[in-house]
Structure 1
Amino acid sequence: MNRAIPPLDLGWLLMESPGGTTHVGALLLFKKPPGRRSLVREVVEAYRAYRPLPPFNYVPELVGAGAPHFREVESWDPHYHVAHLALPAQSSYEDLLRLVADLHEPMLDRHRPMFRCWLIDGVPGGRFAIYTKTHHSIIDGVSGLKKLYEGLSPSGEPSIPAPAFALGQPDPEPEHAPPALRKLTDAVRGALAEVGAINQISRTALRKALSAALGSHLEGSLPFVAGHAPTNAPLVQARGFATMSLPLEEMHTIGRQHGATLNDLAAAIVDHGLHTYLRETGQAYSHEFVAMCPVSLRDDGDSAVGTRVSAIFVRLGAPAAPMSERLRQVVHSVATAKKELGALSTDAAMAYSVALIALAGAGATTHLDRVGHPACNLVISNVPGATETRYLNGAELVGIFPVSALAASIGLNVTLSSYRDHMDFGFVANSAAISDVVALAEHTRRAYADIKADTRRSHAAALTHRSTTG
């Protein structure tokens, strides 16, 4: 069976290069129960016994007869798609991070189903890991992470549920109109939606172009106005990967006390950590960064194939701003950009994404992004997680860290996802731009410690003031 490739998903395929890969992944960490030496081997054998279901059995066909489409394939190599590795004795957690970075680097083979996973034994602390990657054209972060959780068990009993690649898709809603009439109706509806979307986007773009020409300070969502930061160095294949976890409820509390969301706080500490890292490595950047923040357009229960996402482009804090002031600046920028995106219809927001991907891909392919403005300096994304503890063959999931894509000369992606009582961050970096991404993650952790200390001092001062004036 063939399936047409939607424009946004086609963009992920067309813009991909060996240095700018467009697959997304995750690192799952599990704690092994005592006395289960064969636990990982059991999972490997069980996974290899399953067969991929749509969209995990799709192969893209971009040239030849007809429009670009996905073709379902029956054949697959279970040993290629489900691999079993083990770290050498005395390995460190950093060795695991380096291995995941190496596995994340190469493009997926487009002549095979576009996913792979590795079960990695021997992780320090009596743990094992699963690293998995899937092409962005068949799944986005929200639906991908949801499937990973669905492939785990809520019980600590030694059971092995079907993995994400074997779960398939829900049945579509039944159609009552005749096929010919349905096609005509869909074509008319799609054409009207596209015209309305283009009108909405064009008006916004025209206002910003006029403001920029007049030298005004631009606000709202700001694609293609960023300066060339060190993170915009030409992409190479080499990747760096780091992780970080922070207490979830504490993050919410700090955010509330500053009138900020959890996403605002995450963006501010990443911004502060990045400026600090660049100063310490002799690459100080004297302007505000512009971050792309993806926004899911999926309704609750939407698990359709492909990508349903738009984005806002947020101006972050001043380079030398202290954490509290930086967070205030980020809150203002995010609110303004969200208001602008919220004024667009869903069709316009999707069209906006397609246009951005096309422009960014064209700029990267022709190298015009090296002389013009890049789309942004970095990507910061939050993918919804789970609150309940999950297990695999009796092993407890203790962390799940996104491992995201780098493309279009954007050399840093920080994606976070909540699990139980903590927020797990995954840092993916272009090694030509950031040679020590573990150090960057540590600077981000220190930025969080700074805003936490500032918040405590402010709260204590407010309490003292109330007690002396009460």
Structure 2
Amino acid sequence: MQQVTSLDAQVLNAETPTAPGNVGALLILDPATTSSGAVTLELFRDLCQARLHQVPRLRQRLIDVPLHLGQPYWVDDPHFDLEYHVREIGLPAAGGEHQLAELVAGIHSRPLDRVRPLWEAYLVQGLARGRAAIYAKVHHVLIDPESGVELLAAILDDAAEPPEPEVPESEWRPASVPSQPGLLARGLTSTVGRLVTSPPRTVPHLSNLPGASRIPGSRVVSDIADTVVSLAVRRLRPRRAALEQSQLAPRTPLNGALTPHRSFGYGSVPLADIEPVATAYGQTVYDVGVAMAASALRRWLLDHDALPQRPLVAAVLTPARGDEAPTATGIRTLFVQLPTHLTDPEQRLAEVAKSLADHVESSPATTPPVSDATIFAALWALTCRGQFQQATVAGPAFNLFVSLVPGPRSPVYIAGARVASVHPVSAVTDRTGGLNLGLFGYDGSLELGVVACRELVPDVANLIGYFADALGELAG
């Protein structure tokens, strides 16, 4: 039995009816590579059943400590039901992108049931050209660097012929759920342990603890500690204030009060079309992708008569990289100015490249190679994690999230079906703005997934179209 981390507990507590902690992905499948030419619910469930043992969290749920005197614990779900978590939905005949996007938006809007394991997967049938799709959503607390890798790698394969399934050493049997007194004792013990091991954070607030006023000297100790901590951080405040002032986010329709409803859109742009543009301007594929996003946002803001006279500020999440191929070692958050106020697309690209230059190290006109599904899964997991970390810490205000995640240059497979495209389906919060734009490099394409608050951005489909049009502006 494992306790959730302090960060996870913080975001769990911050989750609201208008900002559920769901993150996910939409994968379009081409069943032509399967032996039967189709992906059935039985086949998909069998795949999940055979690999559940690789990700223990998929059969665990959260349980609260009595009186909330401690952070929740993960426990085995004695009533785990795979049929509840893996379902099938059909679109109308030859369902188009709009119908699929509406379906995903509706499911993504619903919070996950905390009395069950925090994930769901939907096999969607009825797409055009005989294709199918899988939309999977999980709660962010399942997405840490380790379990996130396990989660996607468990269902993704590098070849159409799946490997021989690993046979678990023993049949899974849920461990018994601890008693309420036992949970209370564990929770109190862990809480006291954190207080003891975190004196720099806790001692300045010692006098605020219940009953502390009755302890002789507690006020003096608390005041001294508060003074020391204040002196230690005072030197950082001018620099932080300067950063926030220089990247002040303008007011836009993207940053209003959220509702529980979501809109979603997705699309793809071939890297073969982007790379010549990047080469012509001496920029990177990353630069061109973010510049395309800036151009799409400019057109959308003009549509709504809401274009500000200064740049938008985006929190751009991208893997930390060195000279080698990216690995799952971390995610950096860059506060980047999106020059939506500039009319010239070439100037917008130049400004985006300048803003990213100090952060993104990559050769011109290249995309970082990612060799297999495992690294791709790690980067996806870390990006999801980074978005929720940013939602819970203080920092410069921004208008929207943009994520840049490189993926495999060759296709991956699920149950023998080739994954034709992968589209992020992320989250929006009151702090992170009402729009989240995800860019994934996969198998020769730049894949786009846009999640928004439906009332703030009801016309997500326009943004998808504007994103594709933006490349034509640069290509001339």
- Is the 2:317–2:387 Cα contact (8 Å) retained in structure 1? no
Equivalent positions of 1:246-257 (< 5 A) are 246-257=269-280
Shifted more, 250-259 versus 26-35: the winner is 250-259
Q: Kindly tell me: are residues 145 and 258 of structure 1, through their superposed partners in 2, closer, same or farther at Cα, counting changes over 3 Å?
A: farther
- Is the 1:92–1:124 Cα contact (8 Å) retained in structure 2? yes
Map of 1:171 onto structure 2: none
- Is the 2:298–2:340 Cα contact (8 Å) retained in structure 1? no
Shift of 1:203: 4.5
CA distance in 2, matches of 1:199, 1:43: 62
Matching residue within 282, 289, 312 for 2:312: 289
Paired letter, 2:2: N
Unaligned runs of 5+ in 2: 167-193, 203-224, 362-385
Q: Kindly tell me: are residues 62 and 287 of structure 1, through their superposed partners in 2, closer, same or farther at Cα, counting changes over 3 Å?
A: farther
Q: Kindly tell me: are residues 354 and 269 of structure 1, through their superposed partners in 2, closer, same or farther at Cα, counting changes over 3 Å?
A: closer
Paired letter, 2:347: E
Q: Kindly tell me: are residues 257 and 101 of structure 1, through their superposed partners in 2, closer, same or farther at Cα, counting changes over 3 Å?
A: same
Matching residue within 121, 125, 143 for 2:129: 125
Equivalent positions of 1:377-416 (< 5 A) are 377-409=399-431, 410-416=433-439
Shift of 1:422: 1.0
Shift of 1:250: 4.1
Q: Which SS does the other structure have where 2:93 is aligned?
A: coil
Q: Within the alignment, does 1:114 sit opposite 2:118 as a pair? A: yes
Shifted more, 29-38 versus 77-86: the winner is 29-38
Q: Kindly tell me: are residues 205 and 56 of structure 1, through their superposed partners in 2, closer, same or farther at Cα, counting changes over 3 Å?
A: farther
Equivalent positions of 1:317-466 (< 5 A) are 317-336=339-358, 356-359=390-393, 375-409=397-431, 410-453=433-476
Map of 1:91 onto structure 2: 95
How does the TM-score come out when normalised to structure 2? 0.72
Map of 1:54 onto structure 2: 56
Q: Which SS does the other structure have where 1:414 is aligned?
A: strand
Shift of 1:205: 4.2
Map of 1:183 onto structure 2: none
Q: Within the alignment, does 1:207 sit opposite 2:239 as a pair? A: yes
Deviations 1:141-192 (A, max 9, x none): 9974774255222332377968xxxxxxxxxxxxxxxxxxxxxxx9999889
- Is the 1:274–1:440 Cα contact (8 Å) retained in structure 2? yes
Paired letter, 1:357: A
Shifted more, 60-69 versus 109-118: the winner is 60-69
Paired letter, 1:68: Q
Shift of 1:201: 7.8
- Is the 1:152–1:161 Cα contact (8 Å) retained in structure 2? no
CA distance in 2, matches of 1:201, 1:418: 40
Matching residue within 229, 240, 255 for 1:232: 255
Paired letter, 1:430: C
Map of 2:378 onto structure 1: none
- Is the 1:291–1:313 Cα contact (8 Å) retained in structure 2? yes
Shift of 1:133: 0.7
Q: Which SS does the other structure have where 1:418 is aligned?
A: strand
Paired letter, 2:352: V
- Is the 2:48–2:155 Cα contact (8 Å) retained in structure 1? no
CA distance in 2, matches of 1:8, 1:395: 37
Paired letter, 1:104: H
How does the TM-score come out when normalised to structure 1? 0.73
Q: Kindly tell me: are residues 203 and 135 of structure 1, through their superposed partners in 2, closer, same or farther at Cα, counting changes over 3 Å?
A: farther
Count of equivalent residues:
394
CA distance in 2, matches of 1:324, 1:77: 54
Q: Which SS does the other structure have where 1:56 is aligned?
A: helix
- Is the 2:65–2:72 Cα contact (8 Å) retained in structure 1? no
Shift of 1:265: 1.9
Paired letter, 1:108: L
Q: Kindly tell me: are residues 439 and 119 of structure 1, through their superposed partners in 2, closer, same or farther at Cα, counting changes over 3 Å?
A: same
Map of 1:461 onto structure 2: none
- Is the 1:87–1:120 Cα contact (8 Å) retained in structure 2? yes
Shifted more, 75-84 versus 138-147: the winner is 138-147
Q: Percent identity?
A: 28
Equivalent positions of 1:70-85 (< 5 A) are 70-75=73-78, 76-85=80-89
Map of 2:296 onto structure 1: 273
Unaligned runs of 5+ in 1: 163-185, 340-351, 361-372, 454-470
Q: Kindly tell me: are residues 160 and 91 of structure 1, through their superposed partners in 2, closer, same or farther at Cα, counting changes over 3 Å?
A: farther
CA distance in 2, matches of 1:198, 1:338: 34
Map of 2:72 onto structure 1: 69
Shift of 1:93: 2.3
Shift of 1:104: 0.6
